[in-house]
Amino acid sequence: MARAVAPRVTKVSEIRKGDTILVLGGKDAGKRGTVERVDRPLTPGTPYRVVVQGLNVAKRHTKPRPRMNQNDRVPQMQQGGMVEKAMPMAVGKVMLVCPRCDQPTRIRHLLLETGARVRACGHCGQPVEVKGA
């Protein structure tokens, strides 16, 4: 009888919010963008998904609907029309772009003298830091 194997989880996430990435496949292949959000999977075994600013955009048609606040006596109408929204894509379809050497790269993990694990570029070996962190 085969034993169920848990998926491998790294202690340091590969792609984070604020990273510059390159899209490898799909309608936006070859384009670069900044990660807005990383969605964790609800069920084990499914891939992480990333939302990239301005890429994988879908149009959603919305109806005008009444919107009620707690302190409003008369409901206000929410405007209808077409809304462009960036949709999530699988993390396997994107690759991190190193901020130092400006090349798409695989991510290595380095152990610092302080005992912290950091992400590093596979080409130049320099640590990759998230902007704003």
pLDDT in tens, 84-122: 999 999 998 999 999 999 999 999 988 888 888 889 999
Q: Write 118-127 long-range contacts (CB < 8 A, 24+).
A: 118/12, 119/12, 119/14, 123/98, 124/98, 124/100, 126/98, 126/100, 126/101
pLDDT of residue 132: 47
pLDDT: is 68 or 36 the higher one? 36
Q: What is the dihedral of CA 70, 72, 77, 78, to 10 degrees?
A: -40
Q: How far apart are CA 59 and CA 32, in angstroms?
A: 20
How is the chain split into domains, by residue range?
20-68+75-101
Mean pLDDT of all residues in 74-86: 84
pTM, whole model, 2 decimals? 0.74
